[in-house]
Amino acid sequence: MMTGRAAGDYTAPVEDYLKVIYEIERRGSAAGTNDIAQQLSIAPASVSGMVRRLADQGLLEHERYRGVRLTESGRRVALRTIRRHRVIEAYLTHALGYAWDRVHDEAERLEHAASDELIDRMAAAIGEPATDPHGAPIPTRWGEIDEGPHLGTIAELVPGDRCRVVRVSDDDARRLRYLGEVGLIPGAEVVLVSRAPFGGPLALLVDGVERAIGPTLASHVMIETSG
Amino acid sequence: MMTGRAAGDYTAPVEDYLKVIYEIERRGSAAGTNDIAQQLSIAPASVSGMVRRLADQGLLEHERYRGVRLTESGRRVALRTIRRHRVIEAYLTHALGYAWDRVHDEAERLEHAASDELIDRMAAAIGEPATDPHGAPIPTRWGEIDEGPHLGTIAELVPGDRCRVVRVSDDDARRLRYLGEVGLIPGAEVVLVSRAPFGGPLALLVDGVERAIGPTLASHVMIETSG
DNA sequence: CAACATATTTAGCCGCGCCTAAAATATGAA
DNA sequence: TTCATATTTTAGGCGCGGCTAAATATGTTG
């Protein structure tokens, strides 16, 4: 019967810790107990205990009161989990007709249960995409990832700027849903028409269609400027 | 982040207990602590504790020292888990090219993580099959299952009998692999040519090809007699 | 009916991953 | 430099789902 996880695997909580630590490190900041706790929606005190276990397993290094850093081994596990997550997201949208705002939660559970073989078969079945539906790069099966250059967001444009949406934050289904409704999906062409003062709305042309969005939302849409 | 299980769900161990209890009951026998423990590869003492928790949750009834019986509620959960398992198995073979002896372990893990929506989409994508790759019936999304009449096995045939393979045991990958090699898959036409005495081999015609198998293997191939 | 074999349960334990409350440490401002 | 505040860790606890060893119930058999 064997209810275990995929071969050679870590527990789901362990994979989740490593994933969020990887993301925090990627943002530049050192991963502190508090950040980790917040990302995982658990109490900071709980993180201390787990961090110790992860350090014991050689997945990260921990300097008391100073934070945490992934080891090479921890990074590998994190990237494998991220690959699983993103391949699953891509597969669900391309092969099974999922809306892009419904894939995150499903992937969040499946990423801990899928074998490497399944992930590779899924990726092959949809043509080995380079990114997930939100534009996030998919690590290769060898743990390489092309994080690309640091991306700006629509919030940082000045009127007249033209750009292309590369990626959007995927951590809020309602936001994703709305972004989809206004056409702000990876690949969309955007021109900032004007920006109202005092945190007011931004007027955009999204693939030629006029739209107005708030600055917070705009900061979740990552772009590359296109001429 | 939320590493939980699918919405409104039970833990993976709980689903596994209910599944094996369902199967034991289906075989006719009352589900005793020992049977359950053996099916789950855990110590009998561990079963006692879990059985109490399951009874507290109203998933089964427990008569001390006498065994266990699923309640209607427990049966529903068991059948939903079995549906998940079998739909996943069918999907992996039909949509992703899995060999039929590799799907069981994968399904064993995914069945606890997949949402109802995913299962239904998978089933739809492959045309709502009635059985899994091993011939086991797939419960409907409403918890109905057609267990069909009690099936005989090749082991019970007498020379000259002709039959069709309906279903094979799926709990041993090596056995499955071998059954596939000799063509004993659901749908195959089989004639028992002769049977050696003292537990010796059975000579078969499998879709016209001569084969010899042992009686134990034969007892894992379920059939319906066809004229 | 007594004695034994077998099945089941209880008792007591452990690790995981979470919790709250309290103590320790670091940091920035007065 | 010292103190207030924020962060982190420790202490102690809990439920789950396993374990082993020991006790107890069942039922079979001489």
pLDDT in tens, A132-156: 999 999 999 999 999 989 899 999 9
**Percent of residues, chain A, with pLDDT higher than 70:** 96
User: A106–B115: do the CB atoms touch at under 8 Å?
Assistant: yes
The dihedrals phi and psi of B149, each to the nearest 5 degrees, come to: -70, 165
pLDDT in tens, A151-183: 999 999 999 999 999 999 998 999 999 999 999
Smallest Cβ–Cβ distance between B3 and the set A12, A98, A115 belongs to: A12
Cβ contacts of B13 on chain A, cutoff 8 Å:
3
Dihedral sign of CA atoms A156, A159, A164, A169 in order? positive
Kindly state the average pLDDT of the residues B44-72.
97
User: Touching check for A92 and chain B: CB below 8 Å?
Assistant: yes
d(CA A5, CA B75): 25
Smallest Cβ–Cβ distance between B96 and the set A39, A109, A125 belongs to: A125
Reported pTM: 0.94
Optimal mutation site among B22, B24, B96, interface A, most CBs of chain A within 10 A? B96
Evaluate whether B136 touches B196 at the Cβ level (below 8 Å). Answer: no
Optimal mutation site among A2, A3, A39, interface B, most CBs of chain B within 10 A? A3
Counting Cβ atoms within 10 Å, is residue A111 exposed (0-12), middle (13-18) or buried (19+)?
A: buried
Q: Quickly give B25 CA vs C8 C1' distance in Å.
A: 19
User: A1–B121: do the CB atoms touch at under 8 Å?
Assistant: no
pLDDT of residue A177: 97
Name the packing angle between helices B72-96 and A116-125 (round to 10°): 60
pLDDT of residue B226: 74
Evaluate whether A1 touches B41 at the Cβ level (below 8 Å). Answer: yes
Q: Which bases of chain C are contacted by protein, using any atom under 7 A from a CB?
A: 7-12, 16-22, 25-27
Which chain A residue's Cα is nearest to B171?
A: A1
Q: Quickly give B75 CA vs D22 C1' distance in Å.
A: 35
Nucleotide nearest to B17 (CA to C1'): D17
pLDDT of residue A29: 86
Q: Which bases of chain D are contacted by protein, using any atom under 7 A from a CB?
A: 7-12, 16-22, 25-26
- Encode chain A in three state secondary structure: CCCCCCCCCCCHHHHHHHHHHHHHHHCCCCECHHHHHHHHCCCHHHHHHHHHHHHHCCCEEEECCCEEEECHHHHHHHHHHHHHHHHHHHHHHHHHCCCCCCHHHHHHHHCCCCCHHHHHHHHHHCCCCCECCCCCECCCCCCCCCCCCCCEEHHHCCCCCEEEEEEECCCCHHHHHHHHHCCCCCCCEEEEEEECCCCCCEEEEECCEEEEECHHHHCCEEEEECC
Q: Which residues contact A53 (CB under 8 A, 6 or more apart)?
A: none
Smallest Cβ–Cβ distance between B40 and the set A1, A92, A118 belongs to: A1
pLDDT in tens, A112-133: 999 999 999 999 999 999 999 9
pLDDT of residue B3: 58
Evaluate whether B100 touches B176 at the Cβ level (below 8 Å). Answer: yes
Give chain A's mean pLDDT.
95
pLDDT in tens, B100-117: 999 999 999 999 999 999
> Which among B39, B141, B40, B16 has a CA at the least distance from the CA of B87?
B141
Kindly state the average pLDDT of the residues A58-78.
96
pLDDT of residue B28: 87
Kindly state the average pLDDT of the residues B63-84.
97
Cβ contacts of A13 on chain B, cutoff 8 Å:
3
User: Touching check for B39 and chain A: CB below 8 Å?
Assistant: yes
Give chain B's mean pLDDT.
95
Residue labelled with tokens 């006719």: B28
User: B3–A112: do the CB atoms touch at under 8 Å?
Assistant: yes
d(CA A166, CA B11): 38
